[in-house]
Copies of this chain bind each other. A is one copy, B any other.
């Protein structure tokens, strides 16, 4: 028998703590797991990246962070994709996520590609578009590799209108298409006549009107307005309602002065489109990551994108994609009659928002996001806190009233992701997996760990080489 009182702190497997507790003794349980699941090669890489290589990594990360948090992206223009991405070639579609061949493209993205081919006038109908795509008659390129990000199952032709967002200090530009709005739309994987007509409407009507409005005003401080939106319950990914409304009220006089049938049609489009700000915020986020990714030797993620088949990440300082299978969207709410069986995997480039302190990182301030992650604001706060565990800093521009005005987490460090086994959570929509009916729900996707492990090992190789 022990004479003194036994004081137990159990680190790791809770079985031991349970055993002690059953004997009526107090026990402190510390939730600790073997880093990187105990994979020795990964543990060795982590040991180097936190040890001998850490000075180089930390210095690089500091510069990456300065760029992610410090750049000031301004909306300066709306132009056709061919004018802003001239290197893409005339018969090219820029699509979401990592590079992919037609044979591997998922159902909703195939439909979106066919709709874009018809809208561009490269084919007279969907069947001809399908043959053209199947025969390699249209080049498919990741938007991310051309300074652009596209939401959900987007495939963007050269005539589509794109936002031009610039950081004047660094001279960095990035692009995103004008959002297609709700309903029968190609970015939701629809290829109906209405979806094709929407693409033509954006090109012929809304694009030119939006360009004129942007020209009439001072360049828009995209994240200045987004910071206000976060105070009003937006996460800027699943929900952009407040920020959209702030923008639209500011544009009101221009829209009325432009008037005419084009002005009226654009007004109707804006009035019914509470996700309008999404792609403006995405272009701004891409401006930051485009500048940040030029820094070598960093462990911070600067690309995170999905094509519905694969989920890919890239670290600052590397053009190499690390890919894994696209995950399902698990914390979800579905339209009636829909569910996991009818849901396509996670898709779109919008996860760039999670890399700059928005989306899942800003969950704590958003009642709309709370509905998906457990229902209470405490659940939403936990999502932000979990993101903070894998991030190196707090945003100086996006602050959360519900967390005493702390900044949202920014700078996803692949070392922390792999060490803790916690990957970013991405707030997103869900598309039908195969019948072309479009959005079936919305929820939160958890990024797959494998691509982060791969990126970590590659960083270790580059630093050891």
Contacts and interface: CB of A to CB of B under 8 A. Distances in A.
A244 interface: yes
Given A257-B264, A264-B256, A377-B404, A246 B245 contact: yes
A339 interface: no
Contacts of A231: 233, 367
Contacts of A270: 249, 252
A271 B253 contact: yes
Contacts of A257: 264, 267
A219 interface: no
B248 A267 contact: no
A367 B252 contact: no
Interface residues of A, number: 31
A255 interface: yes
A271 B245 contact: no
Contacts of A271: 249-250, 252-253
A301 interface: no
A232 B242 CA distance: 7
Nearest to A380: B401
A112 B291 CA distance: 55
B253 A249 contact: no
B252 A248 contact: yes
Interface of A: 231-233, 241-242, 244-246, 248-250, 252-253, 255-257, 259, 263-264, 267-268, 270-271, 367, 370, 376-377, 401-402, 404-405
19 contacts: A231-B233, A232-B241, A232-B242, A233-B233, A242-B242, A245-B245, A249-B249, A249-B270, A252-B255, A252-B268, A252-B270, A252-B271, A253-B264, A253-B267, A253-B271, A255-B255, A255-B256, A256-B256, A256-B264
